[in-house]
C-alpha cells in the first residue's frame, strides 16, 4: 500500500505516552491514521493530547494499560474495535531498559524484563491479531525491538535476550500472516532521545527482589544523559511509518552499524565447519528455504512441506 492508503486506518500503539511510541503516534497521525494509544502516566497523556489538539487532529482513544496484564490487553482490543469499528495496525512498542551483570540476575529480574519486553509483545499479538484479521482489510504488525536484537553486551543480558526473542517471533510471524494481507515488521532502533534509561527507577514492587546492585539514581541519571544525543523520536517514527508502507520485514532507523554487521557476518561464516554436508541434509535445508519463499508469496506452510 502507498502512504495515502493508510489514511483513515486504525492503529493501536503501546507505550505511546512518551519516547518512540509518541514519535510513531505523531508520524501515523501526520499520515491521517486514527489512533488508540496505551499509556501509564496521566501527565504524559495530557501533554501528548495537547499536541493533537493544537493541530486540530482527532484526539486518540487513550487506554491505560499494563502490557503484562493479559485480561486488560484483551479488554483494550475490544475497546478499540467498539470505538472505531475495526483495528488494522498493532504496534508493540512498550518496553523497559534495565541493565546489570547477567550472572547476578535474579528470577525477579528475568520475570520483570522478559514479562514486559517479550510478554507484552505476545499479549498484543494474541489480543489484537484476531481483530485485525476480522476486519478483512489487511493491516500490519510492528514489533519494536532494539539493535540489541543483534548486538549483545556485558550489561544487558536479559534486555538483549528479550529483544532477540522479539526478533525471532517477528520474523516467523511474518511468514504466517501473508495470506491475510497483514504485513509484519521488526523495528530495531538504536539511540533515541527518550527517558528509557530511567526504567530502573520505575521497578514494580512485585519484582523488587533484584540480584543487581541497589539502584544508584545519580548514576542512572548520568547514564541517561547519553540519550540526549539520540535521534528525535518523531524522526524514528517517520522512518518506521515509511518502512511499514513499504512492507519491510526489517526496519533499521539508524545507519551507524555497518562495522558491527560486517563483524557478525564474518564471524558467523568463519564459525561454519569447512566441510561438505551430506546430500540428505542439503535436501532438508533446500526444502526449508523453498517453504520460506513460498510462505512469503502467500502459501500456508505445514510440517508436511518441510520433509
Enzyme catalytic residues: 159
Q: CB of 295 within 8 A of CB of 301? A: yes
**Under DSSP, is residue 274 helix (H, G, I), strand (E, B) or coil?**
coil
Report the distance separating Cα 104 and Cα 117, nearest Å. 20
What whole-number distance in Å separates Cα of residue 63 and Cα of residue 288? 41
Q: Which phi-psi region, left, alpha or beta, contains residue 136 (left: φ > 0; alpha: ψ -120 to 50)?
A: left
Would you say 36 and 84 are in contact if contact means Cβ atoms under 8 Å apart? yes
DSSP character at residue 231: B
Beta bridge pairs of residue 25: none
Residue 176 region by backbone torsions, left for phi larger than 0, else alpha for psi between -120 and 50, else beta: alpha
Q: Residue with C-alpha cell 493479559?
A: 70
SS3 assignment, position 192: strand
β pairing state of 34-39 and 61-64: parallel
User: What Å distances lie between residue 89 and 137, 225, 253, CA to CA?
Assistant: 11, 33, 19
CB distance 65 to 72 below 8 Å: yes
Which stretches of the chain are assigned E, i.e. beta strand?
10-13, 34-39, 61-64, 89-92, 139-144, 182-188, 250-252
Amino acid at each position: 500500500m502507498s502512504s495515502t492508503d493508510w489514511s483513515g486506518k486504525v492503529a493501536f500503539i503501546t507505550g505511546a505516552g512518551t519516547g518512540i511510541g509518541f514519535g510513531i503516534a505523531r508520524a501515523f497521525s501526520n499520515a491521517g491514521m486514527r489512533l488508540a494509544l496505551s499509556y501509564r502516566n496521566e501527565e504524559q497523556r495530557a501533554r501528548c493530547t495537547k499536541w493533537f489538539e493544537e493541530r486540530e487532529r482527532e484526539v486518540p482513544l487513550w487506554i491505560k494499560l499494563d502490557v503484562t496484564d493479559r485480561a486488560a490487553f484483551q479488554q483494550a482490543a475490544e475497546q478499540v474495535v467498539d470505538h472505531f469499528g475495526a483495528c488494522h495496525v498493532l504496534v508493540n512498542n512498550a518496553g523497559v531498559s534495565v541493565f546489570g551483570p547477567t550472572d547476578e540476575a535474579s528470577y525477579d529480574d528475568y520475570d520483570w524484563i522478559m514479562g514486559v519486553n517479550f510478554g507484552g509483545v505476545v499479549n498484543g499479538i494474541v489480543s489484537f491479531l484476531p481483530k485485525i484479521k476480522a476486519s478483512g482489510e489487511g493491516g500490519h504488525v510492528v514489533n519494536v525491538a532494539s539493535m540489541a536484537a543483534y548486538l549483545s553486551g556485558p550489561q544487558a543480558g536479559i534486555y538483549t535476550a528479550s529483544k532477540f526473542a522479539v526478533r525471532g517471533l517477528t520474523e516467523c510471524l511474518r511468514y504466517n500472516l501473508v495470506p491475510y494481507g497483514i504485513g509484519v515488521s521488526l523495528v530495531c532502533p538504536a539511540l533515541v532521545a527518550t527517558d528509557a534509561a530511567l526504567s530502573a527507577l520505575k521497578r514494580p514492587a512485585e519484582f523488587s527482589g533484584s540480584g543487581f546492585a541497589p539502584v544508584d539514581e545519580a548514576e542512572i541519571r548520568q547514564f541517561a544523559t547519553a540519550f540526549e544525543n539520540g535521534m528525535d523520536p518523531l524522526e524514528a517514527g517517520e522512518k518506521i511509518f515509511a518502512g511499514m508502507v513499504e512492507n519491510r520485514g526489517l526496519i533499521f532507523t539508524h545507519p551507524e552499524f555497518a562495522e558491527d554487521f560486517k563483524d557478525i557476518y564474518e564471524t558467523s561464516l568463519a564459525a561454519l565447519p569447512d566441510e561438505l554436508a551430506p546430500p540428505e541434509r542439503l535436501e532438508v535445508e533446500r526444502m526449508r528455504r523453498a517453504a520460506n519463499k513460498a510462505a512469503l508469496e502467500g502459501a500456508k506452510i505445514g510440517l508436511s512441506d518441510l520433509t
